Amino acid sequence: MTKRNLIQIIICFLLLVLSAGCWDQVNIEENGFVIGTAVDLSNNDSDGNINISLTNQIVSPDELGTPTNEGSENPPFINLTTTGDSIFEINRKMLKEISRVPFYGHSRLVIVSEKLAHNPELFASMLDVFIRDQEMRRGIKIIIAEGEAKNILDIDPKPEKLPVMHIDMITDNSYKSIEIIEPVTLGRLHDYLLHKNSYVLPKISINNDGIDYSGAAVFDGTNDKMVGTLNGLETKGMNLIKGDTKEGMIKFKVNNHIMAFDLERAKKRIDIKVEDPKNMEIFITIKAEGKLAEMYGSKTLSNPSYIKEMEDKISKKIEQLADLTIDKAQKELKLDILDIDKTLKEKHYGTWRKIHKDWENKKNYFSNSRIHVSADVKVREVGSTDRVKEKEHE
C-alpha cells in the first residue's frame, strides 16, 4: 500500500466519524410531549408584577398502554404547573421539575382563564410566544375558560384517556351545533390580533358532571381584552348571521306544539347602503334549508300550507335569534362581532377605508347603523314518517 492510499483511507474514516451523526438528536423517549396548556393569572406578587401560571399536560406514554395491553391504573398524563412572568421563562423553569424536556410540536390546545383575558394587553402578550416559537403549530386551538383554566385539564376524560383529547374532540364536533362557535386556531387568532376588529373565542366551563363547551367570549380588538360573553342563544344568532355553521337545531312552536328543525345549510347575504355612513342601513338575508327533525302534535304534513306555516314560524324564530344578538352587539357590547366590517371591506372598500377607524370606536358607526334581518327557510324533508300518532281530538 502506498503512502498516498493510506492517507486517503484515513481521510475517509475521519470524514465518516466527523461528518456523520446528528448534533440535535433527542431520543423520542426523552421528549415530554405537551398536548395542552392552561394559562392562569396567579396572584400578583408584592412588587405588583403580574404573574402567570402555566400548566402543561404532558403525556406519559407508559401509562397510556397499547391497544392490546391496557395501561396501568394511574392517569396517563402529568399536569405540571409553574409560575413566572414570561411564558418562556416558565418553560425553562419546568426543565428543573420534570425529567423530560417539554416538546410542543404536538400541542393541541391552549386554555386561557377568563381572569387573564380580562387584563388588557396581557392576553395578546402572553400569546406572543405561542405564535413566535417555531415549535408551536398554528393549528393549536384557543379556548377561554370560566374560572381556573388548569382545573379543566383535570377533568375525567372518559371515554377518552386524556382530558385534552376529550376537549379537542368536543371542539371538533362544533359543526353539529350552532350554539358553539367553530374552534379558533392560533393562526386565526394571529390574524385577529393583527387587526383592530373585535372577535369571539369559544368558551369552556366546568359543571357538575364534566365540562360545558358553549357560548363565546367577546374581545375588544383595540386592546385585545375580553369585554363580555355570549350565551348559547346569542351565539346561535351570531352563527346564523355569520353563516359559519353548517348544521344546527332550531326549536320553534306551531299552535303551541314544540317542533325541532334540523338546519342543514345556511347561507347569508349582506347588503349595505353606504351613502350616508352615519346612518347606514344593513340588510342581512339568511337562507336556510333543512328537515323537520321532531314534531309534537299530530297534524298531517302532506298539506303544503302547513309546511308553509312552519317555514314562516322558523323564519320568525331565526329573525328573533338574530335580532337578539344584533341588539346585544349594538347596544350592550358596541362591537361588531358579526363581521359586517368584513363585508364592508370586500364590497365597499372606499367607504371602509374612510370609516374603519370609527367603525367600532369613537363615532361607532356600527352601533348607529340600522340592521334588518330577514330569513328565508325551506323545509326540504320531514323524515321517514308523516305522523307518528293518531289525530287527537282538538
Partner 1 sequence: MKRFDYADEFISEREIMIAVPSIVIGVGALSFPKSLASMTIAADGWLPILVGGVIAVLITWCIAKMSASFPNQSFLTYASRIVTKPLALVLTFIFSILSLQIAIYQMRQIADISKQYIFDQTPVEVIALVFLLVVIYAVAGSRVGLFRLNALFLPIILFILLLLIVFSLNKFEKEHLFPIFETSFMEYVKGMDSVISSYTGFGILWFYIVLVKQPKKAPKSAAIGMCVPVILYILIFIVCIGVFGNEVTRNLIFPTVELAKNAEIPGEFFERFDSVFFTIWIMAIFNTATLALDVSVFALTSIFKKTPKHKILFILSPIVYIVAMFPENFLEVSTYGTYIGYTVFLYSIFVVILLYTVGKLRGVRFSD
**Bridge partners, residue 79, by sequence:** 57
Q: What kind and span of H or E run contains 80?
A: strand 77-84
Shortest Å distance, C-beta 260 to partner 1: 31
Shortest Å distance, C-beta 29 to partner 1: 18
Query: Amino acid letter at 269?
Result: R
Give the three-class secondary structure for 297.
Answer: coil
Cβ proximity to partner 1: between 107 and 330 the closer is 107
d(CA 246, CA 237): 14
Cβ proximity to partner 1: between 304 and 350 the closer is 350
Cβ proximity to partner 1: between 240 and 259 the closer is 240
Shortest Å distance, C-beta 219 to partner 1: 16
Cβ proximity to partner 1: between 244 and 312 the closer is 244
Shortest Å distance, C-beta 249 to partner 1: 26
Those residues with Cβ within 8 angstroms of residue 27's Cβ, 6 or more apart along the chain or in another chain: none
Shortest Å distance, C-beta 87 to partner 1: 18
Peptide bond into 76 cis (omega under 30): no
Cell representation of residue 155: 377533568
Cβ proximity to partner 1: between 101 and 258 the closer is 101
d(CA 17, CA 374): 74
CA 296 to chain centre: 34
Query: Amino acid letter at 258?
Result: I
Shortest Å distance, C-beta 137 to partner 1: 6
Cβ proximity to partner 1: between 140 and 153 the closer is 140
Cβ proximity to partner 1: between 132 and 380 the closer is 132
CA 58 to chain centre: 22
**Binding residues for partner 1 (CB under 8 A):** 19, 23-24, 105-106, 134, 137-139, 187, 190-191, 194-195, 342, 345-347, 349
Shortest Å distance, C-beta 185 to partner 1: 9
CB 202 within 8 A of CB 143: yes
Count Cβ neighbours within 10 Å for each residue of 8-20 and write b for 16 or more, e otherwise.
Answer: eeeeeeeeeeeee
Those residues with Cβ within 8 angstroms of residue 106's Cβ, 6 or more apart along the chain or in another chain: 33, 34, 35
